[in-house]
A and B are shown apart, each in its own frame.
Chain A
Amino acid sequence: MHALSLKQLAEGLRRRQFSSRELTRHFLDRVQRLDKTYNSFITVTPELALAQADAADAAIAAGTAGALTGIPLAQKDIFCTRGVRTSCASRMLDNFTAPYDATVVRKLHAEAGMVMLGKCNMDEFAMGSSNETSWYGPVRNPWDTRRVPGGSSGGSAAAVAAGLAPAATATDTGGSIRQPAALTNLTGIKPTYGRVSRYGMIAFASSLDQGGVLARSAEDAAMVLQAMIGFDPLDSTSVQRDSESFTGTLGRSVAGLRIGLPREYFAEGLSPGVRRCVDAAVRQLQEMGAVTLDISLPNAMLSVPTYYVVAPAEASSNLARYDGVRFGHRAEAVRNLEDLYRRSRGEGFGPEVQRRIMVGTYVLSHGYYDAYYLQAQKVRKLIYEDFRAAFGQCDLILGPTTTDVAFELDSKTDDPVAMYLNDIYTIAANLAGIPAMSLPCGFDDGLPVGMQLMGDFFQEGRLLNVAHQYQQATSGHLRLPKGCE
């Protein structure tokens, strides 16, 4: 059952080939059997899942079911889930049970009727590109357990790649959906900033964070994303738009589509293996009638330094609330207020989170603000202008998602800058706020390679359509890791 698409699962449920309870049990059993290896879940919620499955079965019987009713889903542990621990993979929130549901959680479970299997592992507070900064230990890549699954949504990616969940929610601040998708042979989409409500999604960098989905195909991703989006009065940065059907436009032809290939994304630093796969994908799309053209995003390579000013600045502010006073980790036997702050935060946050808080505090400090934060905002504007200009020439932009395939655990943990460069191709989309996705485009020495599609604002439907068309013509995305078939 875990090899079926969401459409097939929905069909099976509707035809009563299996019940949601049976389906849910199947995935829960797989989690129990296999996840010791991958460590993709922080919290598994079997009782809740089976109760939701029973409710879904009742809805199916009553004929009130929707397209996703009864289909299991894993939630990244960054989304608040009422009554269930919401840790953000941090010791700081190890004892935190959210008293409310994130809007995304409400939409997917209470409204769309999906079944929550549990909460997925991630980099602590979504800060990382390898899922090694989690308080709950690293996640292992199902394609090679010596390697990382990428991050920060590494748990979501590993769970879906290993067939422990049909799909999972994820978030993307600088590539946290797309990079893990690329490293685990998944399709992942980060929609336009403001599409998916951030209410109840624990903040890392508010102006960059965006919820999205990791799935095994563009069609699956479209179905879940469809249920996640929409204006939310509880999120002031959420956008009001008429509803559109992502699934309804998947079948459109790509003939005549103008695809921009940014030369900066095919330059030095890109591994030959990834390059070969992306080139092949470009040829495939050309064969399908798409037109490619050489474009330039001259400021794109300033993304990483810009991001590492903006994101830590916002993070240092967003994480100020974790002070040991009202919730979360509180140090014991404190001597005074300062001791309470120092030790609660010192013990509760891991080294990468502390590093980013310090960088962020520094760039916002009096006397440095103009030189760093303000300057970074200006560069951000330039990056955005690059995209504006590009989308005057082409309908979407295509390039590699990552420079290389999944790397080995511990190989980059001592070199933060090398780790940060993992997101060199993905960060620009966050800085500009445009939608972007990664989808599988082949294998290099048995390890998955992803390609990235970026679109203009609100062009998710277009991205998913192109990805779906590509996946109709190819089958690499259907391959499963060994032991997960």
Chain B
Amino acid sequence: MDNNWEAVIGLEVHCQLLTKSKIFSGAATAYGAAPNTQADGVTLGLPGVLPVLNAEALRLAVRFGLAVGANVAERSVFARKHYFYPDLPKGYQISQYELPIVAHGHLDIELPPPVKGDEPVVKRIGITRAHMEEDAGKSLHEAFAGATGIDLNRAGTPLLEIVSEPDIRSAAEAVAYLKKLHQLVVYIGICDGNMQEGSFRCDANVSVRRRGTEKFGTRTETKNVNSFRYVEKAIEYEIERQIEVIEGGGRIIQETRLFDPGTGTTRAMRTKEDANDYRYFPDPDLLPVVVGAAERQAIAAQMPELPEAKRARFMADYGLARYDATVLTGEFALADYYEAVVAGSQADPKLCANWVSGDLLGALNKLGRDITESPVSAAMMAGLIRRMADKTISGKIAKDVFEAMFEGQGDADHIIQARGLVQITDDSAIVAAIEQVMAANPKQLGEYRSGKDKLFGFFVGQTMKATQGKANPEALNRLLKVMLAN
């Protein structure tokens, strides 16, 4: 970005709350069902039906509020937001307007330090509000020639709209915020975080101003950018576009824009002038939502350990470096997995960390799977590390055993037994193998003895080979040194 300019960015995230049924009815929310099979009377907006708030959706919203240090409103109000569209069955969306359930929270994001190797820079992004609302249905324009299909399965799905303060100053910060928010909502179990299925969607409000000025520029809102990469691209494009327009003597129009992933550009969708007058008013079918202190405490009591607290604990209790602790607490399931491995193996936590974040995550990444889909359970991983710790196998053999476990050949003990991989710690067996190798390589032996020390490694390799890698490396080194010298 041109150094004379500064971007001001605020993000609105629609996060689908992880409930079995819809926000105001008992219809299912499962993704991918045949069109309109999850549309009950309330979803269809039939004459006479009434909304009843899903208590679980409320609990999840409150949990979010508590997780971002926000005020959870003792009394919040649902309002109707009116506009006509075929996939909006009632002609209004039930949302929250003047009194949202969550207000004044924050999220701390970590940015790369100016000097490499330093601690990351922490920046606090304000969360203005988060409110509950129902999703609309889907219009299917392509499927029918000359007509539009309406699928109301998604209509009435509970959403939490999370609105940030305009505290974000770059596309990179926006992505850091989104990733942090995404991690959090998945962590606390209020959202499945699936961006392809639309469970976590983002609208970006972007404006630019000359550096040093206070006043915000006119902003545009770019809708529904559904991956971290697209958010970054869309914002970068929008910043550049706005600077160009202003520097070219033009002015920015307050409008809604749409990101085109194909070209990496945004284009105008509608301007503020032709925007709807939503005619918000409190929904008379729903009473104000009251969350008392006792209920708030009960929800707080069920709050899982949050990512930052967990990371601090991993660093303190397991002696992990910040980087490893960050990786291992990145996902709730991964952190649980790691802790199960440490507990199960009773081994050095750092060794466990290397295996989980190195070998296991590496293997999973290759397959594009996450920890919950790992073919190697935490108990199996602990079993492997235990055999390394008690010197049944060497670290090198362990890599082979891990691969075999990952391929589904059973647990470590089974593979070690079946393949006869138990480490040879008996000196006499190793001595015999060394003698055999020395006899077979008289030339190298002579050279070594006349001072070519480098050949030590050659003898280690040959003896390992002769023992199929099972020789205990320490014993082998010790014995080899003595025998080669004589």
Tell me which residues from 114 to 138 in chain A have a Cβ below 8 Å from any Cβ of chain B: none
Tell me which residues from 54 to 94 in chain B have a Cβ below 8 Å from any Cβ of chain A: 80, 82, 84, 86, 89-92
CA distance A323 to B46 in the complex (A): 12
Stretch from A6-14, A22-30, A98-106, A221-229 that touches the partner = A98-106
- Consensus secondary structure, chain A interface: loop
Stretch from A202-210, A266-274, A438-446 that touches the partner = A202-210
Interface band, chain B = 20 to 34
- Consensus secondary structure, chain B interface: loop
Shortest distance between the CB of B157 and any CB in chain A (Å): 18
Look across to chain B and name the residue whose beta carbon is closest to the beta carbon of A208.
B284
Complex contacts, A96 vs chain B, CB 8 Å? 47
Complex contacts, B49 vs chain A, CB 8 Å? 199-200
Shortest distance between the CB of A258 and any CB in chain B (Å): 32
B45 within 8 A of A: yes
Per-position 1/0 for B344-383, Cβ under 8 A of A = 0000000000000000000000000000000000000000
Q: Do B41 and A320 touch (CB < 8 A)?
A: no
Q: Do A206 and B285 touch (CB < 8 A)?
A: yes
Q: Do A200 and B48 touch (CB < 8 A)?
A: yes
Q: Do B47 and A337 touch (CB < 8 A)?
A: no
Q: Do B279 and A234 touch (CB < 8 A)?
A: no
CA distance A361 to B86 in the complex (A): 19
Complex contacts, A325 vs chain B, CB 8 Å? 86, 89, 150
CA distance A316 to B91 in the complex (A): 10
Q: Do A237 and B47 touch (CB < 8 A)?
A: no
A246 within 8 A of B: no
CA distance A206 to B82 in the complex (A): 16
Interface band, chain A = 35 or more
Shortest distance between the CB of B476 and any CB in chain A (Å): 75
A429 within 8 A of B: no
CA distance A79 to B150 in the complex (A): 28
Per-position 1/0 for B324-356, Cβ under 8 A of A = 000000000000000000000000000000000
A157 within 8 A of B: no
Q: Which of A201, A207, A326, A364 contacts B45 (CB 8 A)?
A: A326
Shortest distance between the CB of B277 and any CB in chain A (Å): 5
Complex contacts, B92 vs chain A, CB 8 Å? 317, 320
Q: Do A235 and B50 touch (CB < 8 A)?
A: yes
Complex contacts, A231 vs chain B, CB 8 Å? none
A182 within 8 A of B: no
Q: Do A365 and B84 touch (CB < 8 A)?
A: no
B281 within 8 A of A: yes
B51 within 8 A of A: yes
Complex contacts, A86 vs chain B, CB 8 Å? 47-48
Complex contacts, A321 vs chain B, CB 8 Å? 45, 47, 89-91
Q: Could you say which of B80, B150, B277, B284 has the most chain A C-beta atoms within 10 Å of its C-beta?
A: B284
Q: Do B47 and A317 touch (CB < 8 A)?
A: no
CA distance A416 to B89 in the complex (A): 31
A198 within 8 A of B: yes
Complex contacts, B286 vs chain A, CB 8 Å? 236-237
Complex contacts, B284 vs chain A, CB 8 Å? 205-207, 237, 314
Shortest distance between the CB of B83 and any CB in chain A (Å): 9
CA distance A310 to B338 in the complex (A): 59
A300 within 8 A of B: no
Knowing A320-B84, A323-B91, the reply to whether A369 touches B281 (Cβ < 8 A) is: yes
Knowing A100-B41, A237-B285, A317-B92, the reply to whether A323 touches B84 (Cβ < 8 A) is: yes
The 5 closest A-B pairs by CB, nearest first: A320-B91, A206-B284, A207-B284, A364-B279, A200-B48
Residues of A within 8 A of B (CB): 79-80, 86, 88, 93, 96, 98-100, 102, 198-203, 205-207, 233-237, 313-314, 316-317, 320-321, 323, 325-327, 337, 341, 361, 364-366, 369, 373
Residues of B within 8 A of A (CB): 41, 44-53, 80, 82, 84, 86, 89-92, 150, 277, 279-281, 284-287
Provide a sorted-by-A list of 15 A–B residue pairs whose CB atoms are within 8 angstroms: A98-B47, A99-B46, A102-B48, A198-B48, A199-B49, A200-B48, A237-B285, A313-B281, A317-B91, A317-B92, A325-B150, A326-B89, A327-B46, A361-B279, A369-B279
